[in-house]
Chains A and B, each alone.
Chain A
């Protein structure tokens, strides 16, 4: 409607009748899409695509990260995130197939710490693991309960 009125306006002053008929034609004729609309639609589709991609990536990341027995066991055992990280480092250095076993008995933990120390000595880490052993089992590494 606005373009029709604008066209009529471009021709000079309109009579009342002309104005009304132009208005009627404008109402009767289909409204052509403004030039900005395709951009808006492309923008909306783009945002949707980004959202979909983000969702898919997040799903994949969630699927690639299976349930961690060690993480859950550490939570149940009341260990902090820092302590869990120490245990993860030990498990990795000691190449343990079942790291959670470290939390089940003091000899398993001491064995893992020994293997990790042989692979990569770290006195500070050993000290922290000593504390974990006392916290979990009431005895230090290598001590009998």
Chain B
């Protein structure tokens, strides 16, 4: 056995990457103490070729040695990328196992490439993992605490989904199409052009599966779809069927989409949606980062002016500064004397928005007097 030790020592010290490949080839077939010894020698060599051998044989690396492998994240990512791109089917499978246990969204693009792998089991595993990464980066604060890193991860996953969308007709994996719909905001026109392609199955597949994919993650897709006449009849029933607070929050998180006039016009098609009416009674129960958007939604959804006035009148007295402020601004944008009367009331109160209300009412009264002197209601002298 001393001679075997000499052999191991020689390979441990050999500079050429062939030594890593030899050790890796042995590790692929080793078990027990031999697997531990081979993995240990490769870990000691601490180079990209060694990490490639370890990643390609990840299931054979003893659990107690894995922390050493994971302690070099850059080497690990480079090795996993190399194995996914050029490794054997078993190596690619081992790399996927590693990426399942230790997610690395930076490698999402490689998963998109794997969707066209000759091995069907690998295609299935890659599609499932890409969908999992998409879920992972969608969870608020989950992929990374640092916003820059979170944005970086999201960018990798978006690019991977764009590639998966492009090659959809070659792989036909509906789960990655579903994930692509979750990123409708990021994918933008790429998504809609892909879905509209008449010779492709993408659009038909999405329309067929949409009901089974129904989830708050589709919020942006549904809002953007509502703005497109060709998708409106498909997405509207889903939005009309929503009624929970989770759905409301998901939609509120996409408030910036309301900057698009087409989306605002699309929202008018939703008449008194249950997800809104049933969950806005107590804005304090909603997450602080979204509740301030409620008045803007009331302003744009398919409510009557009376319904809008009802909600905004309620919220302008809110103790939550963001809700109070947004409600007063929304009231100022509503036409009719009813909203102005409420603003007169705000102007006369001691509240954060009373100054704005005083200026607004004074302006409205001046304009009304210029047109028809009696149009504007009187405003208390001390309030103005």
Complex alpha-carbon distance, A78 and B26, angstroms: 19
Instruction: Report how many A-B pairs have Cβ atoms within 8 Å.
Output: 64
Q: How many residues of A contact B (CB 8 A)?
A: 23
Q: Is the CB of B3 within 8 A of A104?
A: no
Contact A105:B18 (CB < 8 A) given known A76-B3, A76-B7, A98-B25: no
Q: Mark A54-84, 1 if CB is under 8 A from B, else 0.
A: 0000000000000001001100111000000
**Residues on B with beta carbons closer than 8 Å to the beta carbon of A105:** 26, 29-30, 34-35, 38
**Residues on B with beta carbons closer than 8 Å to the beta carbon of A104:** 7-8, 11, 22-23, 26, 30, 34, 38
Complex alpha-carbon distance, A137 and B38, angstroms: 14
Rounded to whole Å, the gap between the CB of B62 and the closest CB of chain A is: 14
The interface residues of chain B, by DSSP majority, are classed as helix
Complex alpha-carbon distance, A104 and B32, angstroms: 13
Q: Is the CB of A73 within 8 A of B34?
A: no
Asked if A8 is an interface residue, CB under 8 A from chain B, the answer is no
Q: Is the CB of A76 within 8 A of B25?
A: no
Rounded to whole Å, the gap between the CB of A69 and the closest CB of chain B is: 6
Contact check: which of B4, B25, B32, B35 meets A101 at CB < 8 Å? Answer: B25
Rounded to whole Å, the gap between the CB of B2 and the closest CB of chain A is: 9
**Residues on A with beta carbons closer than 8 Å to the beta carbon of B21:** 97-98
Q: Is the CB of B29 within 8 A of A76?
A: no
Complex alpha-carbon distance, A124 and B23, angstroms: 29
Rounded to whole Å, the gap between the CB of B107 and the closest CB of chain A is: 25
Asked if B10 is an interface residue, CB under 8 A from chain A, the answer is yes
Q: Mark B54-79, 1 if CB is under 8 A from A, else 0.
A: 00000000000000000000000000
Q: 5 more A-B contacts (CB under 8 A) besides A97-B21, A98-B18? A: A101-B26, A104-B22, A104-B23, A107-B30, A108-B30
Binding site for A on B (CB under 8 A): 1, 3-4, 6-8, 10-11, 18, 21-26, 29-35, 38
